[in-house]
A and B are shown apart, each in its own frame.
Chain A
């Protein structure tokens, strides 16, 4: 049975695919398929129900990211069962109701998809046994409710309401993430079932208060508690089925669910009592007062929902077991009567074309069925005996009587009664001002009862309202099971019954009913006073805050990033240097621990070359060709440094990369201006120089500080040295690290390199197709080229060198595992060997003679590397685990092979492909510019009798078309 839990959680998500597919088959089919997936989930839940009702807890566990403590763990206890039942059950009724509510212009498939996504997220929350998983679902409810509230995208109120709801609940969710992480940290696990056992440790922790505040922030925003209640009325711009679903039974109850779920852990402290109970109390009274003065039916219901959520929050805040029982009972009761009320409001809106109370009245005769449903639900909301609202309200007042608030015995019951009084008043108003009174003749529509399909759902709910109200023992097993899960221990002695005898709660209840009736009688003058009184408008404040935040961030980014990249680079440099200085914190350079290496003549000369080249580069950087030559000088010095400092692999790599880079830059310079103009002022140059010197000195100091000290911690290099041969089968530790120990890194690197080459190819293509390409054609071939473009000597020399160079490449590749070399270097060497041919006889000439597509090389490289990695799976090892052994082929010596060789081959192919593709792209620009393609490999060939005169345009050259 445990396996059913993930199925229940997944069904709504899977079902979310159906409405979109089924909408073509008609609206009824679409609705039935939606109901099908929900119905199936409900059925599965019912199968689990008997076991849970017997007090068992179902668990399902699937490790997802165990290292992070994030696992797919589900749990079904009484609390989860109640909420899942409410969510899926009322969801089914909403699906039925929406089938008739939505007009033909509304995209129904979309609606049902959003609805099921939301349902899945909610079910996920209540079934999660892992708070991290719960957070994922929690955020999903925020997102999917955003879609639902903004469903009527043509309405600005809908869009604004959706945005406000997302902002408020999203911000609360962020706070909650922090709170949950703290909680998990204290408990030592993110599993709720573990956390629930750690109540004492959590309450005693000094992080209890921060965790509590952050979690409550999430719960209060979601459940619309004061002062975050303002988003709920604005979310009423949604279609009524959404309001009935999200704002009666589900989303706003998520906060309550969370407080109930963590009740055994978090409650029972003065902090919990004063924060939660007080917030609940204030919310209850404020919501009830505002609801009385709202003329919009849905606004009235929205604020009454706020008020009732406050009531339940307050009960949870009391922290006593009996109050928790009352809270559970009221959650059930509120869900039934409030969903029914929202649906009747939707019916009235649908049929009378208005939900403005001022324009309604006297609907009793016109809509008798709706009248009965609405009246029963309203009376239950008011707390009239024989209806379920009465029972839980009695229990609430009973608990309030026993609660001491700030040392006062009277404060709590008095204020709770005040809230109940207003609640009675607005409940009566929903009946009296809408249905009673004379029939009017100026309704915007023609009010009449809707078809059975539309009133069936609220009628069913009202039947539950009456059934529980008359026979409370029906609900008792469910309340007991749920309360047991909330309390997490022994239940108090209680029985749900209508008559408790003459108790203080009964007096308070009577007071509330009579006072509420009086209040409604005096509604008209009170309303005038309410309208005249100044009230803070939440939406105005929210919009002003949002505008302010937007303006602040706009100002910040505009002032830093005004379109000048150099300015941004300068700010970046200053920030980095400042951050470095701050991190260093004036500790200075530590005392030397290592003996310094002596300065010999050779490295000193190298250093001098580097410094002079760099200095000249700065001095002459406006002459771009000269700058490039100097850059190559710097690169060579760096390669030499690697040779001297025991890094042969690096030296080989650096020198071959140097060659390729300089060729690339030379080719690019062909199209760019040859000099850099003087643009910046002297002041500006001085500023930049100052920045540069500060940055340089800082980096120097940092390097020196590192170099004179030993490692603060043991380096992991010793492991690599010790295991290079034993584990990786290679003597060249650097290469073994690349292809074996850190093979995954290298795998990523070659992928990036391949992508970079493809980006270059795509960019070239785009540029050539655009205005840049047309300009190149008009520009025409350059005039300042050498006369002998493909000199005889160079062609002959490169031809002779080609096989040797390729052989060197293969040699470097093969020996890489044991001697300096490997795929990277071999790839670069081979690329250079090919490049030489291209330089000698022209790129197009050479390309016509070899047909390797470079894209395919890159793809083959990455693929071979992947396959080598996957091969390890066949041996039951993780990706990229390597193996090696020895084989003897008869005429040869015994030699070693390693699977890492296959990986290195992938590296090799990718490097060759990437380098060649990048240069190919540049050469295609040259050809677009009208450079000729020579037929012959060289300009002048003594063997050719018809050897034409030397070019300016190239012999027999043809323009590429």
Chain B
């Protein structure tokens, strides 16, 4: 199970990095989303994996999973939604205003900027 988890996180990270390195805004957004999955899973896994050990207190039960990473990841998931939403709007605004969704500055932009 641990091997599956580690490889899944690795695959998500690799795909995320690859997409983040693309030159248009939409794949970059997808890449960031994948990286968020990977990071959230990684944080979650830092509490170690457990099956059938819920973080809900019951009488007579002594073994529980680690609730702390879960709480941290829960807010992280919601925040990453907020972040994606902002980035999407930025990309959309940039495309509508500049008529292009390329993320690198053109040679002309670079010159004007300096």
Give chain A's interface residues, CB within 8 Å of chain B: 562-567, 569-570, 573, 594, 596-599, 603-604, 607, 610-611, 614-615, 617-618, 621, 624, 627-628, 631, 634-635, 638, 641-642, 644-650, 653-654, 657, 660-661, 664-665, 668-669, 671-673, 676-677, 679-680, 688-689, 691-693, 695-697, 699-701, 703-704, 706-708, 710-711, 715-717, 720-721, 724-725, 731-734, 737-738, 742, 745-746, 749, 752-753, 756-757, 759-760, 763-764, 766-767, 770-773, 775-776, 818-820, 824, 828, 911, 914-915, 918, 921-922, 925
A807: shortest Cβ distance to chain B, in Å? 22
0/1 interface trace, chain B 81-111, chain A, CB 8 Å (1 if under): 1111110111111011101011111000110
- Given known A-B contacts A614-B15, A703-B10, A749-B79, A679 and B2 have beta carbons under 8 A apart: no
Interchain CA distance A691-B31 in the complex, whole Å: 14
B4 and A770 within 8 A (CB): no
Contact of B12 among A569, A603, A634 (CB under 8 A): A634
Query: Which B residues between 47 and 79 are near A, CB-CB below 8 angstroms?
Result: 47-58, 64-68, 70-75, 77-79
Contact of A752 among B5, B22, B82, B89 (CB under 8 A): B82
Residue in B20, B44, B77, B113 whose Cβ sees the most chain A Cβ within 10 Å: B77
Q: CB-CB < 8 A to B40: which residues of A?
A: 638, 654
Residue in B20, B95, B105 whose Cβ sees the most chain A Cβ within 10 Å: B20
Closest B residue by C-beta to A662: B33
Give chain B's interface residues, CB within 8 Å of chain A: 1-27, 29-30, 33-34, 37-38, 40-42, 44-58, 64-68, 70-75, 77-86, 88-93, 95-97, 99, 101-105, 109-110, 113
Contact of A638 among B7, B10, B37, B95 (CB under 8 A): B37
Interchain CA distance A734-B85 in the complex, whole Å: 25
B36: shortest Cβ distance to chain A, in Å? 10
Q: CB-CB < 8 A to A634: which residues of B?
A: 12, 34, 37
**30 CB-based A-B contacts, threshold 8 Å:** A564-B104, A566-B22, A566-B103, A627-B27, A634-B34, A638-B40, A638-B41, A646-B52, A648-B54, A649-B74, A650-B44, A679-B24, A692-B21, A696-B12, A710-B48, A716-B68, A717-B67, A717-B68, A721-B55, A732-B56, A742-B71, A745-B75, A749-B79, A753-B79, A757-B82, A766-B93, A767-B93, A770-B97, A772-B97, A918-B89
Interchain CA distance A563-B90 in the complex, whole Å: 17
B5 and A707 within 8 A (CB): yes
Q: CB-CB < 8 A to B38: which residues of A?
A: 699
Contact of B6 among A704, A721, A763 (CB under 8 A): A704
Q: CB-CB < 8 A to B19: which residues of A?
A: 617-618, 621
Q: CB-CB < 8 A to A693: which residues of B?
A: 14
Contact of A661 among B25, B45, B52, B81 (CB under 8 A): B81
B79: shortest Cβ distance to chain A, in Å? 6
A700 and B18 within 8 A (CB): no
B103 and A565 within 8 A (CB): yes
Q: CB-CB < 8 A to A650: which residues of B?
A: 44, 70, 73-74, 77
Q: CB-CB < 8 A to B95: which residues of A?
A: 671-672
B3 and A704 within 8 A (CB): yes
Interchain CA distance A673-B82 in the complex, whole Å: 23
Q: CB-CB < 8 A to B85: which residues of A?
A: 661, 664, 756-757, 760, 918
B14 and A695 within 8 A (CB): yes
Q: CB-CB < 8 A to B54: which residues of A?
A: 646, 648
Interchain CA distance A598-B49 in the complex, whole Å: 11
B78 and A708 within 8 A (CB): no
B42 and A707 within 8 A (CB): no
Interchain CA distance A766-B92 in the complex, whole Å: 12
A688 and B18 within 8 A (CB): yes
A597 and B105 within 8 A (CB): no
Closest B residue by C-beta to A576: B17
Closest B residue by C-beta to A665: B88
Q: CB-CB < 8 A to A679: which residues of B?
A: 23-24, 102
Contact of A614 among B3, B21, B34, B92 (CB under 8 A): B34
B4 and A604 within 8 A (CB): yes
A657 and B81 within 8 A (CB): yes
Closest B residue by C-beta to A624: B26
B68 and A566 within 8 A (CB): no
A563 and B66 within 8 A (CB): no
Contact of B88 among A570, A664, A703 (CB under 8 A): A664
Q: CB-CB < 8 A to A720: which residues of B?
A: 67-68
B42: shortest Cβ distance to chain A, in Å? 6
Q: CB-CB < 8 A to B15: which residues of A?
A: 614-615, 617-618, 692, 696
Q: CB-CB < 8 A to B22: which residues of A?
A: 566, 621, 676, 680, 688
- Given known A-B contacts A760-B89, A824-B78, A724 and B57 have beta carbons under 8 A apart: yes
B63: shortest Cβ distance to chain A, in Å? 10
- Given known A-B contacts A650-B44, A824-B78, A645 and B51 have beta carbons under 8 A apart: yes
Interchain CA distance A749-B82 in the complex, whole Å: 10
Interchain CA distance A928-B87 in the complex, whole Å: 21
A818 and B56 within 8 A (CB): yes
Q: CB-CB < 8 A to A644: which residues of B?
A: 51
Interchain CA distance A737-B71 in the complex, whole Å: 6
Closest A residue by C-beta to B76: A749
B38: shortest Cβ distance to chain A, in Å? 7
B91: shortest Cβ distance to chain A, in Å? 7
A731 and B34 within 8 A (CB): no
- Given known A-B contacts A564-B104, A700-B7, A597 and B2 have beta carbons under 8 A apart: yes
Q: CB-CB < 8 A to B9: which residues of A?
A: 699-700, 703
Q: CB-CB < 8 A to A664: which residues of B?
A: 84-85, 88
Interchain CA distance A628-B73 in the complex, whole Å: 23
A672 and B101 within 8 A (CB): yes
B17: shortest Cβ distance to chain A, in Å? 4
Contact of B21 among A638, A688, A759 (CB under 8 A): A688
B80: shortest Cβ distance to chain A, in Å? 8
A63: shortest Cβ distance to chain B, in Å? 32
Beyond A563-B110, A653-B78, A721-B67: 15 further Cβ-contacts under 8 Å? A564-B105, A596-B3, A614-B34, A634-B12, A634-B34, A645-B50, A676-B27, A691-B17, A691-B21, A692-B16, A696-B15, A700-B13, A707-B45, A725-B57, A773-B96
